[in-house]
Amino acid sequence: MRFRSLRFATISISPARPKTLLHLRRFLSSSIAARIPPPMAASEESLRQALAEKQSAVDAQAHALRALKARPGGAAQAEIDAAVEALKALKVDAGAAARRLQAALSNNGDGAAASSREAFRQAVVNTLERRLFYIPSFKIYRGVAGLYDYGPPGCAVKSNVLAFWRQHFVLEENMLEVDCPCVTPEVVLKASGHVEKFTDLMVKDEKTGTCYRADHLLKDFCKEKLEKDLTLSPEKAAELKHVIMVLDDLSAEELGAKLKEYGITAPDTKNPLSDLYPFNLMFQTSIGPSGLSPGYMRPETAQGIFVNFKDLYYYNGNKLPFAAAQIGQAFRNEISPRQGLLRVREFTLAEIEHFVDPDDKSHPKFVDVANLEFLMFPREEQLAGKSAKPMILGEAVLKEKSGVPLVAHEKFPEPREVEKLVIVPSKKELGLAFKGSQKMVVEALEAMSEKEALEMKATLESKGEMDFHVCTLGKTVSIMKKMVSISMDKKKEHQRVFTPSVIEPSFGIGRIIYCLFEHSFYTRQSKAEDEQLNVFSFPPLVAPIKCTVFPLIKTQKFDDVAKIIAKSLTAAGISHIIDITGTSIGKRYARTDEIGVPFAITVDSTTSVTIRERDSKQQIRVSIDEVASVVKEVTDGQSTWGDVMWRYPTHSAAHTEEE
């Protein structure tokens, strides 16, 4: 069973509860929208042009000077001196133009220097690895590229994101959730086209055998040329930019031709490269002990939904539209994984399939969101190298609508006769022969394709029995003629037969989490201004731990208060840790700021305590009885920190501030 699937650059937004929607918009805008780079600096082309002109002026003058010097009989010294001076001035001009171009190139992207952006990323990644948000897998065995472990805080963030995803999509939209295996028999992935086409183009270093993704090499070559080669002509620069833009649309032949044209070699050794060949990205394996049933680890979770379509449609009362969702692991044997969590070999996918009637795509809740504005990135803008732009949802739908039917479907003006395969297993005979396994034999018989069934019919008629492999039993059974009736029946069809259209939003959870990490990270100076402190400004919804409890000094009475508070936090369902290490309160704040804990309770008396907010470092004083309910209010999002600041006295004792 195959469906045409539309991959949207955006995701479907449901109206849901206003608060939740707000959360989601904040979450998405922070993790996705803000990451889309604005267009390249408009002046780059003119600067290249200016540099090229200055450079040819230099060349022309140098040529003139050489001619002057070589003049038979010799030129006047004054004339030569003047030409040298002119050449010097032109070189200064060209140097200045080169510096202006260099500056423009290194300011590319979002306006911050690319090198400082790289340094920022390195700081984020170092913090993430040091605090065990995630770490390369199997490090003690030297590791494997593209596989990562989530440590305790990373695990907590992931589990919060998934819980919120399930709440927002599955529960609030009444989606049908399924959970299917990762191990998938070949037949399923042959039908979906993955066995034949889920490939990337690969080249090998002809001497060392190291493998590279062909499009990565071409892209890296173009980017490096554009960034570092100031002598590129504006035309050549435009060509390289165009190559980057259309990279995903190049055919294998075009890609191979470009690699040859640009003389690209293996980046590490400069050895020549092999020809291109396709490499299937699925991890292959074998199911069962016989070695005869090939299988793969699923490269996406959607197939599990598609193969269950009939059952899910029935579960939904045979009505459209409905949506099914699945959260689970997917596997892609990437040629060269890179960029941390952004391109890995195993990852958690959360996928939705909205099944809709191709002739009636209306949704009862669309009116609630039609006027909302979102940042969108339509295909035409992507291909034209333009940037994302805000669009009103209702207008976008009226526009993105093509007028061309997306799928084949049939309507019969009057009932018409069709031939249909009818397989009727005899449950009585099969029950006698196979007892407890009867059900699986029945299901296997019913699942035969038309070709298989007709073959069986012929064999049973000529020989009376036939060997038949039942996969669910893992063995071959003997089917007798009396056990099954197979026929082609004529039948009148009134109903319209149609293939549902599918809208498929797909969420790579690791990518979302990584964007969240990078977007939430900042540094600030310690109070003594002697070091940079790291902070993750996670919203409470996704923070790995909501709250810490610090007894100010080591004394039994403060420890007792801390335990009472911990108990009330547990009762309120707020995750927390008590830190009773003797270290200074400033150090303890810094330590939990670095894993993004939004609130800290410091116990400095036996009647009331302070609550400190991570980003503003503001503190309020709250009685011990109230502390859990105040923290719950701000972590659940019922109140903002600003709201509770008004209700309680602020606290500014020096001893609880950063040291």
For 433, other C-beta atoms within 10 Å of its C-beta total 17
Taking the least distance from each CB to a copy of itself, the nearer of 390 and 436 is 436
The answer to whether the peptide bond before residue 321 is cis (omega within 30 degrees of 0) is: yes
State which of residues 279, 377, 498, 522 lies at the interface with a copy of itself (CB under 8 A).
Answer: 279
State which of residues 570, 606, 640, 650 lies at the interface with a copy of itself (CB under 8 A).
Answer: 570
3-class SS at 435? helix
Taking the least distance from each CB to a copy of itself, the nearer of 505 and 544 is 544
State which of residues 90, 105, 335, 609 lies at the interface with a copy of itself (CB under 8 A).
Answer: 335
State which of residues 92, 96, 119, 144 lies at the interface with a copy of itself (CB under 8 A).
Answer: 144
In 484-613, which ranges are E strands? 484-493, 497-498, 501-503, 506-508, 521-525, 532-536, 547-551, 576-578, 599-603, 608-613
Taking the least distance from each CB to a copy of itself, the nearer of 133 and 374 is 133
Report the DSSP pairing between strands 5-6 and 501-503.
parallel
611-614, long-range: CB within 8 Å, 24+ apart, which pairs? 612/656, 613/641, 614/535, 614/537
Show contacts with a copy of itself in window 539-558 (CB under 8 A). Answer: none
State which of residues 5, 336, 459, 618 lies at the interface with a copy of itself (CB under 8 A).
Answer: 336
Confirm or reject binding of residue 355 to a copy of itself (CB under 8 A).
Answer: no
Q: Assess contact for 559 and 500: CB atoms under 8 A.
A: no
State which of residues 11, 57, 245, 287 lies at the interface with a copy of itself (CB under 8 A).
Answer: 287
Token pair, residue 262, equals 């640009």
Taking the least distance from each CB to a copy of itself, the nearer of 260 and 310 is 310
* Candidate segments 148-156, 409-417, 527-535, 612-620, binder of a copy of itself by CB under 8 A: 148-156
x/- binding map, residues 197-216, to a copy of itself, per CB under 8 A? Answer: -----x-----xxxx-----
Taking the least distance from each CB to a copy of itself, the nearer of 472 and 623 is 472
State which of residues 104, 160, 302, 304 lies at the interface with a copy of itself (CB under 8 A).
Answer: 304
- Give phi and psi for 373, each to the nearest 5: -105, 135
| Segments in 192-298 forming alpha helices (H) | 194-197, 214-228, 234-245, 252-261
Token pair, residue 596, equals 């993004």
Buried-state track 487-509, b at ≥16 Cβ within 10 A, e below 16: eeeeeeeeeeeebbbbbbbbbbb
List the end-to-end C-alpha distance of the chain, in Å, as a whole number.
Answer: 65
* Candidate segments 39-47, 66-74, 553-561, 574-582, binder of a copy of itself by CB under 8 A: 574-582
Distance between CA atoms of 208 and 613, rounded to whole angstroms? 55
Taking the least distance from each CB to a copy of itself, the nearer of 45 and 172 is 172
Taking the least distance from each CB to a copy of itself, the nearer of 43 and 476 is 476
Which residues have C-beta within 8 Å of that of residue 626, sequence separation ≥ 6?
A: none
Confirm or reject binding of residue 473 to a copy of itself (CB under 8 A).
Answer: yes
Packing angle, helices 214-228 and 77-106, rounded to 10: 130
Taking the least distance from each CB to a copy of itself, the nearer of 134 and 558 is 134
Q: Token match 């196979």: residue?
A: 434
x/- binding map, residues 390-429, to a copy of itself, per CB under 8 A? Answer: ----------------------------------------
Taking the least distance from each CB to a copy of itself, the nearer of 397 and 447 is 447
Burial of 416 (0-12, 13-18, 19+ CB in 10 A): exposed
Q: Assess contact for 133 and 151: CB atoms under 8 A.
A: yes
Distance between CA atoms of 312 and 314, rounded to whole angstroms? 5
Length of the chain: 659
Confirm or reject binding of residue 150 to a copy of itself (CB under 8 A).
Answer: yes
State which of residues 3, 27, 133, 148 lies at the interface with a copy of itself (CB under 8 A).
Answer: 148
Taking the least distance from each CB to a copy of itself, the nearer of 165 and 374 is 165
Confirm or reject binding of residue 272 to a copy of itself (CB under 8 A).
Answer: no
Count of residues touching a copy of itself (by CB under 8 A):
97
State which of residues 315, 395, 407, 653 lies at the interface with a copy of itself (CB under 8 A).
Answer: 315
Confirm or reject binding of residue 346 to a copy of itself (CB under 8 A).
Answer: yes
x/- binding map, residues 226-255, to a copy of itself, per CB under 8 A? Answer: ------------------------------
Confirm or reject binding of residue 182 to a copy of itself (CB under 8 A).
Answer: yes
Q: Token match 């004792």: residue?
A: 653
* Sheet strand arrangement including 576-578: 576-578, 547-551, 599-603, 608-613, 619-623
Token pair, residue 196, equals 């034949």
Q: Assess contact for 630 and 499: CB atoms under 8 A.
A: no
* Candidate segments 255-263, 421-429, 455-463, 468-476, binder of a copy of itself by CB under 8 A: 468-476
Show contacts with a copy of itself in window 96-125 (CB under 8 A). Answer: 118
CB of 202 to a copy of itself, least distance (A): 6
255-259, long-range: CB within 8 Å, 24+ apart, which pairs? 255/201, 255/214, 255/215, 255/218, 256/214, 258/218, 259/203, 259/214, 259/217, 259/218
Token pair, residue 561, equals 């208060």
Confirm or reject binding of residue 648 to a copy of itself (CB under 8 A).
Answer: no
* Candidate segments 82-90, 409-417, 437-445, 535-543, binder of a copy of itself by CB under 8 A: 437-445
State which of residues 58, 214, 240, 477 lies at the interface with a copy of itself (CB under 8 A).
Answer: 477
Confirm or reject binding of residue 599 to a copy of itself (CB under 8 A).
Answer: no
Confirm or reject binding of residue 137 to a copy of itself (CB under 8 A).
Answer: yes
Confirm or reject binding of residue 633 to a copy of itself (CB under 8 A).
Answer: no
* Candidate segments 96-104, 133-141, 227-235, 514-522, binder of a copy of itself by CB under 8 A: 133-141
The maximal CA–CA distance of the chain, rounded, in angstroms, is 118
x/- binding map, residues 16-45, to a copy of itself, per CB under 8 A? Answer: -x----------------------------
